[in-house]
């Protein structure tokens, strides 16, 4: 279902409860300036992933900068998620944080996003093999 480059409302992480739980219980991998917090969970709706993006208010004090970075992050996620997530079947909640201090470009973000997803995939595969 995620073959398209879409990123609609259903796929966005919106539940306050889930986000709080994610930050408390979730695990993380990072590829500077990005950090991915993830947690296996279940959804009532017919989606496999819910993803949110976040930028710290302390580092970027203007709303326009935060908006710009979040839009770029959403764009990078949207264009790259299909490649990495099509073979994962368990439902996950994701939160991608921007922890850098400079304003990024889309090209930088895409390359970092790919590295981030690689790390996540390897972490997941080792975890599942350990379970077996």
Interface with RNA by CB under 7 A: which residues?
4-10, 12-17, 19-20, 46, 52-54, 62-65, 67-68, 70-72, 75, 78-79, 95, 105-106
Task: Choose between 103 and 125: whose C-beta lies nearer to RNA.
Answer: 103
Of 68 and 119, CB closest to RNA? 68
Which of 35, 68 has the CB closer to RNA?
Answer: 68
Question: Least distance (Å) from RNA to the CB of residue 129?
Answer: 27
DSSP letter at 102 equals S
Which C-beta is closer to RNA: that of 16 or that of 101?
16
Query: At closest approach, how far in Å is the CB of 101 from RNA?
Result: 17
Instruction: Give the containing element (helix H, strand E) for 35.
Output: strand 34-40
Up-side HSE of residue 113: CA atoms within 13 Å toward CB? 27
Least Å distance, CB 51 to RNA, is: 9
Tell me the closest approach of the beta carbon of residue 41 to RNA, in angstroms.
Answer: 13
DSSP 46-84: S-SEEEEEEE-TTT--SHHHHHHHHHHHHHHHHHHHHHH
Spatial contact of 5 and 82, defined as CB atoms under 8 Å apart: yes
- Strand 27-31 and strand 34-40: the pairing is antiparallel
């Amino acid at each position: 279902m995620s073959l398209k480059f879409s990123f609609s409302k259903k796929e966005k992480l919106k539940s306050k409860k889930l986000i709080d739980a994610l930050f408390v219980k979730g695990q993380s991998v990072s590829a500077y300036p990005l950090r991915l917090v993830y947690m296996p969970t279940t959804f009532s709706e017919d989606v496999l992933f819910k993803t949110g993006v976040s930028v710290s208010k302390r580092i970027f004090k203007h709303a326009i900068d935060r908006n710009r970075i979040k839009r770029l992050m959403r764009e990078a996620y949207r264009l790259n998620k299909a490649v990495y997530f099509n073979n994962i079947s368990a439902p996950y909640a994701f939160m991608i944080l921007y922890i850098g201090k400079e304003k990024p470009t889309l090209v930088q973000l895409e390359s970092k996003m790919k590295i981030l997803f690689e790390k996540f995939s390897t972490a997941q595969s080792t975890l599942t093999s350990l379970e077996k």
